Structure 1
Amino acid sequence: MKQTSILLFLTLSMVGFSQNGTITGTIKDNSQSALLGVNISLKNTAKGAQTNENGYFKITNIKQGNYILVISYLGFKTKTLQINISNNESLNLKTIHLYEGNEILNEVVINGERTNKFSRKETAYVSKFPIKDIENTQVYSTITHDLLESQVITTFNDALKNAVGVENLWASTGRGGDGAGYYALRGFSVQPKLVNGLPGITNGTINPANIERIEVIKGPSATLFGNAVTSYGGLINVVTKKPFVGTGGELSFTSGTYGLNQVTGDFNTALNKEKNIYFRLNTSYATEQSFQDAGFRKSFFAAPSLSYKVNDKLSFSFYGEITQTEQTNPTFLFLNRSAPSDAKNLKELGYNNKLSFTSNDLSLKNPTQNYRIEMHYKLSDAWQSQTLLSKSSTSTKGYYSYLYDYGILGNNTFTRFISKQNANTQTTDIQQNFIGDFKIATLRNRVVIGIDYLNVTETSNNSGYAFYGNVMPNGNVNGDNPFTTEVENDTYPLSTTGVDAVLATKSIGNIKSKYHIYSLYASNILNITNKLSAMIGLRLDRFDNKGSLVNTEDDFDQTTLSPKFGLLFQPIINKLSIFANYQNGFTNVAPILVGNPDNGPQTLKSFDPEQANQFEFGIKTNLFNNRLNTTISYYNIKVTDRVITDPDSPFNKIQGGEVISKGFEIDINTNPIKGLNIKAGYSNNDSETTKSDNIQILNRRPLESGPKTLYNLWANYQLQEGTLKGFGFGLGANGASERFAINYESTGEFILPSYTIVNASLFYQTQNYRISLKLNNAFNKEYYKGWTTINPQSPRTLLANFTYKF
Structure 2
Amino acid sequence: MKSQLTLILILASFSFSFSQIGSVSGTITDNAQTPLMGVNILIKNTSQGTQTDENGNFEISNISNGDYDLVVSYIGFKTKEIAITIANGKANKIAPIILYEGNEILREVVVEGERRNKFSRKKTAYVAKLPLKDLENTQVYSTITSDLLESQVVTNFEDALKNAVGVEKLWSSTGRGGDGAGYYSLRGFSVQPQLVNGIPGLTNGTINAANIERIEVIKGPSATLFGSAVTSYGGLINVVTKKPYVGSGGELSFTSGTYGFNQISGDFNTSLDKDNNIYFRLNTSYATEQSFQDAGFRKSFFVAPSLSYRVNNKLSFSFYGEISQAEQTNPMFLFLNRSAPTQSTNLDELNYNNKLSFTSNELTLENPTQNYRMEMDYKLSDTWQSQTILSKSSTSTKGYYSYLFDFGVFGNDTFSRFISKQNSNTQTTDIQQNFIGDFKLGTLRNRIVVGIDYFNSTLTSNDSGYAFYGNITPEGGSSGDNPFTADVETDTYPLSTSAVDAVLESQGVANVKSKNHIYSAYISDVLNITSSLSVMAGIRMDIFDNEGDLANEEDDYDQTAFSPKFGVLYQPIQDKLSVFANYQNGFTNVAPELVGDPSNGVQTLKTFDPEQANQLEFGMKTNLFNNRLNATISYYDITVKDRVITDPASPFNRIQGGEVESSGFEIEINANPIKGLNIRAGYSNNDSETTESDNPEILNRRPLEAGPETLYNLWANYEFQQGKLDGFGFGLGFNGASERFAINYLSTGEFILPSYTVANASIFYQVDKYRITLKLNNAFNKEYYKGWTTITPQTPRALYANFTYMF
Structure 1-normalised TM-score? 0.92
Per-residue deviation at 1:482? 1.3
Aligned to 1:99: 98
Residue 588 (str. 1) matches residue 589 (str. 2): yes
Letter in 2 for 1:373: M
- Kept in 2: contact 1:591–1:606 (CA 8 A): yes
**Which stretches in structure 1 are left out of the alignment for 5+ residues?**
1-23, 59-65, 84-92
- Kept in 1: contact 2:71–2:79 (CA 8 A): no
Alignment of 1:745-784 (within 5 A): 745-784=746-785
Could you give the per-residue CA deviations for residues 307-336 of structure 1, whole angstroms, max 9, x where no partner exists? 111100001000000000000000000001
Alignment of 1:709-788 (within 5 A): 709-788=710-789
Give the direction of change, closer, same or farther, for the CA distance of 1:111–1:395 in structure 2 (3 Å limit): same
Aligned to 1:90: none
1:499 and 1:795 map into 2 onto residues whose CA distance is 31
Per-residue deviation at 1:41? 8.7
- Kept in 1: contact 2:26–2:97 (CA 8 A): no
Could you give the per-residue CA deviations for residues 155-214 of structure 1, whole angstroms, max 9, x where no partner exists? 000000000000000110000122321100000000000000110001011001111000
1:580 and 1:275 map into 2 onto residues whose CA distance is 44
Aligned to 1:404: 405
Give the direction of change, closer, same or farther, for the CA distance of 1:344–1:25 in structure 2 (3 Å limit): farther
Aligned to 1:244: 245
Could you give the per-residue CA deviations for residues 741-764 of structure 1, whole angstroms, max 9, x where no partner exists? 000001000000000000000000
- Kept in 2: contact 1:141–1:215 (CA 8 A): yes
Aligned to 1:507: 508
Residue 110 (str. 1) matches residue 110 (str. 2): yes
Aligned to 1:481: 482
2:48 and 2:331 map into 1 onto residues whose CA distance is 47
Aligned to 1:157: 158
- Kept in 1: contact 2:28–2:98 (CA 8 A): no
Give the direction of change, closer, same or farther, for the CA distance of 1:77–1:512 in structure 2 (3 Å limit): closer
1:401 and 1:483 map into 2 onto residues whose CA distance is 18
1:288 and 1:82 map into 2 onto residues whose CA distance is 57
2:254 and 2:46 map into 1 onto residues whose CA distance is 27
SS at match of 2:204: coil
Per-residue deviation at 1:769? 1.2
Aligned to 2:680: 679
2:687 and 2:46 map into 1 onto residues whose CA distance is 51
- Kept in 2: contact 1:53–1:625 (CA 8 A): no
Aligned to 1:372: 373
Letter in 2 for 1:292: Q
Per-residue deviation at 1:569? 0.4
Is the radius of gyration larger for structure 1 or structure 2?
A: 2
Letter in 2 for 1:109: V
Could you give the per-residue CA deviations for residues 270-322 of structure 1, whole angstroms, max 9, x where no partner exists? 11222211111000000000000000000001000011111000010000000
Q: For structure 1, which segment, 48-57 or 315-324, has the greater mean C-alpha deviation from structure 2 after superposition?
A: 48-57
SS at match of 1:99: strand
Aligned to 1:61: none
- Kept in 2: contact 1:102–1:383 (CA 8 A): no
2:523 and 2:139 map into 1 onto residues whose CA distance is 16
- Kept in 2: contact 1:631–1:668 (CA 8 A): yes
Could you give the per-residue CA deviations for residues 757-789 of structure 1, whole angstroms, max 9, x where no partner exists? 000000001231110000000000000000000
Could you give the per-residue CA deviations for residues 605-635 of structure 1, whole angstroms, max 9, x where no partner exists? 0000000000000000011111111110000
Per-residue deviation at 1:129? 1.4
Give the direction of change, closer, same or farther, for the CA distance of 1:495–1:725 in structure 2 (3 Å limit): same
Could you give the per-residue CA deviations for residues 483-515 of structure 1, whole angstroms, max 9, x where no partner exists? 111111111000001101100111111011000
Per-residue deviation at 1:110? 1.5
1:733 and 1:27 map into 2 onto residues whose CA distance is 44
Give the direction of change, closer, same or farther, for the CA distance of 1:47–1:471 in structure 2 (3 Å limit): farther
Aligned to 1:597: 598
1:336 and 1:667 map into 2 onto residues whose CA distance is 37
Aligned to 2:88: none
- Kept in 2: contact 1:39–1:108 (CA 8 A): no
Alignment of 1:526-541 (within 5 A): 526-541=527-542
**Which stretches in structure 2 are left out of the alignment for 5+ residues?**
1-24, 60-67, 85-91
Aligned to 1:72: 74
Per-residue deviation at 1:702? 0.2
- Kept in 1: contact 2:26–2:96 (CA 8 A): no
Aligned to 1:544: 545
- Kept in 2: contact 1:45–1:246 (CA 8 A): no
1:32 and 1:435 map into 2 onto residues whose CA distance is 20
- Kept in 2: contact 1:179–1:191 (CA 8 A): no
Letter in 2 for 1:192: P
Aligned to 2:697: 696
Aligned to 1:141: 142
Per-residue deviation at 1:81? 8.9
Letter in 1 for 2:544: F
Residue 206 (str. 1) matches residue 207 (str. 2): yes
- Kept in 2: contact 1:179–1:201 (CA 8 A): no
Structure 2-normalised TM-score? 0.92
1:176 and 1:221 map into 2 onto residues whose CA distance is 26
- Kept in 2: contact 1:388–1:430 (CA 8 A): yes
- Kept in 1: contact 2:146–2:212 (CA 8 A): yes
- Kept in 1: contact 2:69–2:81 (CA 8 A): no
Letter in 1 for 2:74: S
2:656 and 2:639 map into 1 onto residues whose CA distance is 14
Per-residue deviation at 1:111? 1.8
- Kept in 2: contact 1:622–1:630 (CA 8 A): yes
1:635 and 1:371 map into 2 onto residues whose CA distance is 35
Aligned to 1:259: 260
Aligned residues: 768
- Kept in 1: contact 2:346–2:753 (CA 8 A): yes
Give the direction of change, closer, same or farther, for the CA distance of 1:170–1:97 in structure 2 (3 Å limit): farther
Letter in 1 for 2:98: Y
Give the direction of change, closer, same or farther, for the CA distance of 1:656–1:525 in structure 2 (3 Å limit): same
Give the direction of change, closer, same or farther, for the CA distance of 1:57–1:310 in structure 2 (3 Å limit): closer
Give the direction of change, closer, same or farther, for the CA distance of 1:800–1:738 in structure 2 (3 Å limit): same
Give the direction of change, closer, same or farther, for the CA distance of 1:53–1:416 in structure 2 (3 Å limit): farther
Give the direction of change, closer, same or farther, for the CA distance of 1:695–1:31 in structure 2 (3 Å limit): closer
Per-residue deviation at 1:641? 0.4
Give the direction of change, closer, same or farther, for the CA distance of 1:763–1:55 in structure 2 (3 Å limit): farther
Letter in 1 for 2:239: V
- Kept in 1: contact 2:514–2:549 (CA 8 A): yes
- Kept in 1: contact 2:278–2:310 (CA 8 A): yes
Aligned to 1:13: none
1:444 and 1:594 map into 2 onto residues whose CA distance is 53
Per-residue deviation at 1:102? 3.9
Aligned to 1:642: 643
Alignment of 1:224-239 (within 5 A): 224-239=225-240
2:421 and 2:195 map into 1 onto residues whose CA distance is 28
1:483 and 1:26 map into 2 onto residues whose CA distance is 80
- Kept in 2: contact 1:48–1:110 (CA 8 A): no
- Kept in 2: contact 1:39–1:48 (CA 8 A): no
Aligned to 2:3: none
SS at match of 1:331: coil
2:374 and 2:758 map into 1 onto residues whose CA distance is 41
1:115 and 1:767 map into 2 onto residues whose CA distance is 20
Give the direction of change, closer, same or farther, for the CA distance of 1:316–1:345 in structure 2 (3 Å limit): same
Could you give the per-residue CA deviations for residues 431-468 of structure 1, whole angstroms, max 9, x where no partner exists? 00011111111111111000000000001100110010
Per-residue deviation at 1:82? 11
Give the direction of change, closer, same or farther, for the CA distance of 1:455–1:47 in structure 2 (3 Å limit): farther
Letter in 1 for 2:205: G
Could you give the per-residue CA deviations for residues 231-271 of structure 1, whole angstroms, max 9, x where no partner exists? 00000000000011111100000000000000000001111
SS at match of 1:734: strand
1:117 and 1:396 map into 2 onto residues whose CA distance is 38
Percent pairwise identity = 75
Give the direction of change, closer, same or farther, for the CA distance of 1:77–1:468 in structure 2 (3 Å limit): closer
Per-residue deviation at 1:583? 0.2
Letter in 2 for 1:153: V
Per-residue deviation at 1:31? 6.4
